[in-house]
Amino acid sequence: MEKMTVRDIDVSSKRVLVRVDFNVPLDEKTGAITDDTRIREALPTIKYLIDRGARVILCSHLGQPKGKVVDSLRMTPIGERLTKLLDKRVAVAPDCIGPEVEKAAAKLGKGDIMLLENLRFHAQEEQNDPAFAQKLAKLADVYVDDAFGTAHRAHASTAGVARYLPAVSGLLMEKELQNLGGILTSPARPFAALTGGAKVSDKIDMLQNIMGKVDAILVGGGMAATFLKAKSYEVGQSLIEEDKVDLTGKLMDTMQNKGVRCLLPVDVLVAERIEAGAGTEIVPVDKIPKQLRIVDIGPKTIENFSNELKRCKTIFWNGPMGIYEIPQFAEGTKRLATLLAGLKATTVIGGGSTADAVTDMKLADKMTFVSTGGGASLTFLSGKPLPGVEALQDKKK
């Protein structure tokens, strides 16, 4: 069932509580925002509301303050960046609930914007505490969820507040659900899933759910070591999930039975240490030295993966091919990102570190869609309900 969006309701003069995902990276020394992508992605919804005379109250978490006030995680730099992006003053409230915030919300004029203080300064946010959700709801007439990145969490500001206010989707949330839903329901074929990252356990549910929908699954990153181990290869000091080796083997059997091509690395870059400047070598996967560990896919694997992806009309990518943060271990990720950016296929990037990589390479605008939610996109593609989406009102048929 499709969810109602901000377009389906009258927001004129209403106080609208908008859950956004402004959990942006900050410079450890200066506290400055190093990437404002998540803020920019929320602008269409914010502008839509302003243009229609809504009184906008934005709320988000930032970092992991664990229920305590942490000055370095205050929302002040977010408010300053928003003020510049919108060319309109965005006031930052002293807290996210309480009488002082309620007074400030009541004084908002048409088109005014207020940003609440970090939601996670209160432990009740992550506990989905009903009393905390009610205090948030007290600030507004309508609730809009535009934070897909947190939609897989049942928190007070995502699932809880929707019990007390009319709740609809924002424009970014709508875009996320349409793009991710589209590759599940009606992908142009051939359709490939390119998966990487550290853990198999993060991807197993997603791989099982898309098994009948994809034509090929390509496995790189740290998780490839568990796949190789399941095929009885020596993987040296590579981190593997011992408790997932048998399940990974069964997963590959299922792929074979369903006619899904499973491409694993045929060669890898190995290193003694995971640090810049470490000595490296490229080896076939059947000759990985016991004292070394996999840090990236090798050139033959890049070629194999590239040839497979060039055939495809739809590609979903989640997870780097190596330890992308260290430049000498980033070649596989960079080469495949560049390839995807030049294809005429539908290319959907599943958020998280993969989104960071294509953004760092300035290739995000060359992709069909880059999700703002890593964990949320995986949960969605695993076929599991997202509490933040389930809480929203369904569109009437």
105 and 253 share a domain? no
Active site (annotated) includes residue 352: yes
Within a domain: 232: yes
Within a domain: 129: yes
137 and 202 share a domain? no
- In this prediction, residue 352 carries a pLDDT of 85
Catalytic residue among 79, 351, 352, 388: 352
Cα 42 to chain centroid distance, Å, stands at: 14
304 and 352 share a domain? yes
For 29-80, give the DSSP string.
TT--BS--HHHHHHHHHHHHHHHTT-EEEEE---S--TTS--GGG-SHHHHH
- In this prediction, residue 374 carries a pLDDT of 85
Active site (annotated) includes residue 375: yes
Within a domain: 388: no
- Average the pLDDT over 186-204 and give the result: 93
Within a domain: 81: yes
- Average the pLDDT over 101-113 and give the result: 98
- Among 174, 206, 226, the domain-final residue is 174
- In this prediction, residue 212 carries a pLDDT of 86
Catalytic residue among 47, 199, 261, 313: 199
- Average the pLDDT over 211-219 and give the result: 95
Dump pLDDT digits (tens) for 144-191.
999 999 999 999 999 999 999 999 999 999 999 999 999 999 999 999
Within a domain: 295: yes
Phi, psi of 343 (to 5 degrees): -85, 155
CATH number for the domain spanning 11: value is: 3.40.50.1260
**Single pTM value for the model:** 0.92
User: Does residue 62 contact residue 118 with C-beta atoms inside 8 Å?
Assistant: yes
- In this prediction, residue 128 carries a pLDDT of 98
Bridge-based pairing state of the strands 142-145 and 15-19: parallel
- In this prediction, residue 199 carries a pLDDT of 87
- Average the pLDDT over 254-272 and give the result: 97
Mean pLDDT score of the chain:
96
- In this prediction, residue 198 carries a pLDDT of 87
206 and 139 share a domain? no
113 and 239 share a domain? no
User: Does residue 288 contact residue 294 with C-beta atoms inside 8 Å?
Assistant: yes
Active site (annotated) includes residue 53: no
Give residue 217's pLDDT band: very low, low, confident or very high (50, 70, 90).
very high
328 and 213 share a domain? yes
207 and 232 share a domain? yes
Within a domain: 392: no
47 and 23 share a domain? yes
Catalytic residue among 63, 98, 182, 375: 375
The residue segments making up the domain with residue 306 are: 187-381
- Average the pLDDT over 309-333 and give the result: 96
214 and 340 share a domain? yes
Within a domain: 394: no
User: Does residue 221 contact residue 323 with C-beta atoms inside 8 Å?
Assistant: no
User: Does residue 37 contact residue 359 with C-beta atoms inside 8 Å?
Assistant: yes
Distance CA 335, CA 220 (A): 13
Bridge-based pairing state of the strands 267-271 and 293-297: antiparallel
Dump pLDDT digits (tens) for 342-392.
999 999 999 788 999 999 999 999 999 999 988 899 999 999 999 999 999
- Which residue is associated with the tokens 């006619």? 259
Within a domain: 288: yes
Catalytic residue among 38, 81, 153, 293: 38
In the predicted model, is pLDDT for residue 271 greater than 80? Answer: yes
- In this prediction, residue 351 carries a pLDDT of 74
Active site (annotated) includes residue 89: no
